Amino acid sequence: MADARREFHHQLSTRIIRDHQAIAVEDLAVKGLARTRLAKSVHDAGWSACVTMLEYKAAKFGRSFHRIGRFEPTSQVCSRCGVKDGPKPLHIRAWECGACGAELDRDINAAVNVAKAAGLAVPACGARVGPVLV
């Protein structure tokens, strides 16, 4: 089972590194999560091993790797207006920002905030985004 998990991590990390120029991950407190009721799932996922593989493969292939601190409130801040709405229990998967009224998915909102914290999110500012015809 351990070999199958390690092989999966190698395949996944290689695919992510090949497909993206920059990778940003949130530095989760894996030891803390392992002491909760999610302990078996946390250990089965092998988050630390996967992140380690991403980091060394990013260096090997010349990709940019960013690790966001665990105390960054990525799931508490609205990715649209930046207002901190406070901590939410894990069962709340979607929420509405009290300031701007945006409907936010917890995971997508956190991913956008991780990209912003890593300096990877660039606003379009009205410019055309996408491939340009040559």
The pLDDT value given to residue 64 = 93
Dihedral sign for Cα atoms in the order 118, 123, 124, 129: positive
Q: For the segment 71-117, what is each residue's pLDDT rounded down to a tens digit? A: 888 888 998 888 998 888 878 899 899 888 899 999 899 989 898 88
The pLDDT value given to residue 9 = 92
pTM more than 0.75: no
Q: For the segment 52-76, what is each residue's pLDDT rounded down to a tens digit? A: 999 999 999 999 999 998 888 888 8
* Contact assessment for residue 115 and residue 24, using Cβ atoms and an 8 Å cutoff: yes
